Amino acid sequence: MAGSGEEGLYSRQLYVLGGGARRLAGAVALVSGLRGTGAQVAAALVLAGTGRVVLHDRGAACLADRAHQFLLGESDIGQNRAEASRRALAELNPHVAVVAHTGELSEAFLASFQVVVLTESPLEEQLRIGDFCHARGICFIVADAKGLAGQLFCDFGKHFVVDDPAEGDPVCAAVQHISQGNPGVVTCMGEEDSRGHLFGDNDLVMFSGVEGMTELNDQEPVPVHVLDDFRLEIGDTSSFSPYRRGGLVSQVRLPKVHCYKPLRQALAEPQIRVASPEELPRSRSLHAAFQALHAFRGEQGRLPLPRAPADAERVLELARSLGAQQGPLDEDVVRAFASVSAGDLCPVAAVVGALAAQEALKAITRKFLPLDQWLYFDALECLALEGAGQLTEEDCAPRGSRYDGQIAVFGTTFQEQLGHQKYLVVGAGAISCELLKNFAMMGLAAGPGGDLTVTDMDTVALSNLHRQLLYRSADISKPKSVVAAAAVQRMNPSVRVKAHQNQVGPATESLYGDDFFRRLDGVVSALDTLEARAYLESRCLRYLTPLLDSGTEGPRGNVLAMVPLVTKPLGPASSPGDGTFPLCTLRYFPRTIQHTLQWARDEFEGLFQLPAEHVNRFMEDPAFPEQLPAGKALEVLEQVRGSLWERPRDWRDCVRWARRHWQSRYHDAIIQLLHTFPPEHETSPGVPFWAGDRSCPHPLMFDPDNDTHLEYILAAAHLFAQAHKVPPCSDRAAAQTILRSVVLPPFVPQEGLQVPLAEEQEEVQTPADRRWLAELTQDLVQRRQELVGGEEVQVPLMEPIHFEKDNNIHVDFITAASNLRAENYGIPPANWLKSKRIAGRIVPAIITTTAAVAGLACLEVYKLVWGCRDPSCYRNSNLWLSDCLLLRYQPLPPPTYWYGGREWSCWDRLEMRAVGADGQEMTVQEVLDWLQSTQGWTVTMLLRGHTVIYDREKDEETRTWQRAQRLSENLEGAGEPRRRELELYYVCEGEDAEAEDARPPLICSLP
């Protein structure tokens, strides 16, 4: 059954939050403090679909807010921040009630909330509200961002129940064998990629579908001990019946109860979340520093002035008095923190706000373990940038600019440099929306000479709206890049942004060529294919262009920095499984829901796409099957024959067709398979055929009152009608009436039918097949002539239907077809949403992860704009929001290799101006001479890609001709367009075998 409209909107998020996401619509949350961090929290809660979000702020928006508060427009300056933010947030999601509150946060007011988030709040208020919320069981969160550091605290009360503590679906595996013993040993089947099970020690599991040792089925959950990748120990099975075959072992996740300290106690006894023990002293120092900052503000009535040594020293004095209780104080960290604590940076607010929003979602949905209890984040490595330490109070003093919060950290000269930047954003999806929002706040490309190009071929879809900040429902079907660029302009009219609708790839090198890449200061990307990412990396390597690559999957995210001459290239990303399975597994021996869903995808293509394409092509050109191999031609023509002979007249014919097809797939095909291999069949004496990775199926009997049966019929009939251009219908009662009148002849299995048991077994063409091919071709040509002669025929005759994961009818068919197949084989079914995710290969996504990842990427942009060449300043990041864990680490240095007697970096290249003495483009001989004279290398082969420009092994005449050619003449002859620069590769005399892929490229600049 199709998902609701809200499931269509939130589907990617539902795959992250699970069933707990349904609690969001009834939730009420308070966000207090609507500057940068609070705006990020509120936007995430609204986009996620929280039923009611109340905004609290008693202050008026000022110009400097617009460097980090992306909800405010120019006309909002001087207005209450909560009221101004409410208007912008209400547009984000019409399903959410957004309310502004500008009064006191009284206990009577606070009592109605499930979760309270405080940002920009004085410590006294935090303590007062924290005590109240703890006593009332209201989930309480403190989030604060100051300069280059952030603080997060959670108190979810004395008794908080987490329904599902882990991400993803519970683990399961097919059973291959279970021993009788104490303990019993379960052997799990390996998947096609040779991976074993994914269970962990002490996981609780249940068994289902086990034959023989049936005592295990539906037993209470039992813990397992992992022996290796394929074996688990369970309890005592010595008294159980012997295992025969089949079965599934599934993880059971039980709710967990957690108890939290109130803020007042947690301040003195902090439990701090860190990625490694080495980080704990730094986090403890920041814990003291934030408290000292509260004390300084209470004492002075303001934050420390930017880069004011006296103020920083006073904060340090206050921290010393606090930090003694927590162990040694890192005074450099406290001093650095205090010196820029008056700054407001959009990327830091994005990270802290996104983490806080995820904790609020945990409070509402009870999905994932909440933070226990403190987290500190900092990017103080930015202050180690060369020259940053010499910035003065004057450099960082306010200028009355929207960027004053950023100037407070990096100075006014750096702000001007940000405005001059030229950047390319590849993709305009969820991460890129957050990147572009941050760029607008930062003022990237907002000055003279600045240029920001965003390119994406896609259009806005409904499922984008809950996590892609720049799009609204009115933008559906519009080009993403165009809508995103317009949104950036609204946020910051000074940004010079251009929208393209192109893919960055080999086909567009005329647009994104030498001149385009050479003028760029950097590229940021969030691509969803490994091929596109690898291509973009190769272009950035070629032109020595910095690249920041980001990615997310559900609550996990990462950022990788590739800085020319400073860090190693990104390298190949880990590739997820491509979803391919052996055909014999899909056709005859499925054992997982992934198998049945892929089978259903193949069914969809084989029923509603390929036959229509083949019919239309046959109607245009009846000779086209002659161009195909005989076996393929027979398959194609049989599809054409089936489509032409089964053309429906109306929807009732479509229902009857769907009923016949149901019988063929879920009854007759199984009867035939069991006739060929009966349940008791043995591959050899004593070795059952239906064992191990083969589950014995059973046929289904059609029932028009069975929901799954009827859903299959309705979806299949609808698609069949659409393919044949017949008006469809969704009348369930009418369909049931038709189905009850359908009488099908009894099925008689064929004798001697061959079933391939391995991928290598292929069907062999027989003379009978060739005769049938000739007869079939003749019949179809005649049928075509009859149709062409008729006046009622439409051209094209049929409508091919391509599977669309966001089309409910398509997913209805896939879900029903897969679950019926699963029932045949005793495989647990998948619901509509899970089927959509697996069949549509959907990557789970949520706004919190994308916002945090974009913030982390923009911190690296600061370093690139500064021109940093120190690898110790850069950070790659891995993020796990399900565990509130952030790991930041230095990128590796560039790898080196030896060639021609010297050491080279992977970034090194040879560059030459390929202009001869006559002022014309150099000949090949001149290039060879240049390499000989400058490097001492005798070249035996010169290439551009796969095109050979010179080969010493050719005959003398050919070599003479090659050497006399100008560089581009060789390439134009090979069909390549003329370029201003050529990247050439070479093989030299005396190379060893290891040098095959390790030599610096030769870059030739042409006149």
Q: Which residues are catalytic?
A: 584
The residues, any chain, with a CB within 8 Å of residue 184's CB and separated by 6 or more, are 178, 233, 234, 235, 236, 237, 238, 240
User: Which residues fall within 8 angstroms of residue 87, CB to CB, at 6 or more apart?
Assistant: none
Distances (CA, A) of 672 to 371, 509, 664, 709, 768: 56, 55, 10, 21, 22
Are 147 and 340 spatial neighbours (Cβ–Cβ below 8 Å)?
Answer: yes
Tokens standing for 668? Answer: 């007759």
Angstrom distance (rounded) from CA 319 to CA 314: 9
Q: How many CB atoms lie within 10 A of CB 520?
A: 20
* Cβ atoms of residues 798 and 609 within 8 Å: no
Contacts of 132 (CB under 8 A, 6+ apart): 107, 110, 138
Radius of gyration, alpha carbons of the chain: 33
Dihedral over Cα of 806, 807, 811, 812: its sign: positive
In this structure, the strands spanning 139-146 and 149-155 are antiparallel
**Sequence letter at residue 850:** T
Tell me the angle at which helices 430-442 and 480-491 cross, rounded to the nearest 10 degrees: 30
Output the six-digit token pair for 698: 């059973």
Phi/psi of residue 666, nearest 5 degrees: -105, -5
Residue 896 dihedral angles phi and psi, to the nearest 5°: -120, 165
3-state secondary structure of 948: strand
Q: For the range 680-684, what are the long-range contacts, defined as Cβ-Cβ under 8 Å and sequence gap of 24 or more?
A: none
Q: What is the largest CA-CA distance in the chain?
A: 98
Distance (Å, rounded) from C-alpha 531 to C-alpha 508?
Answer: 15
Compute φ and ψ for 985, nearest 5 degrees. -120, 160
CA distances in angstroms from 856 to 12, 375, 491, 752, 853, listed in the order given: 22, 16, 20, 64, 5
- Can you read off the two tokens belonging to residue 167? 């991400």
State how far the Cα of 136 lies from the Cα of 281, in Å rounded to an integer.
33
Q: Exposed/middle/buried for 632, CB within 10 Å: 0-12, 13-18, 19+?
A: exposed
Structure tokens at 141: 């969160």
The Cα 690–Cα 670 span in angstroms is 14
Query: DSSP states of 883-931 as a string?
Result: TTEEEEEPPPPPPEEEETTEEEETT--EEEE-B-TTSSBPBHHHHHHHH
- Two structure tokens written together for 122: 């004085």
Q: How many other C-beta atoms can be found within 10 angstroms of the C-beta atom of residue 472? A: 15
* Pairing verdict, β 52-56 and 28-32: parallel
Distance from C-alpha of 31 to C-alpha of 98, rounded to nearest angstrom: 11
Give the separation between CA 969 and CA 549, rounded to whole angstroms. 37
**174 - beta bridge partners?**
248
Cα separation values, 90 from 86, 422, 462, Å: 6, 33, 17
Q: CA-CA distance, 326 to 729, in Å (whole number)? A: 71
Please give the Cα distance from 1006 to 236 (Å, whole number).
78
d(CA 680, CA 966): 75
- By the 8 A CB rule, do 502 and 511 touch? yes
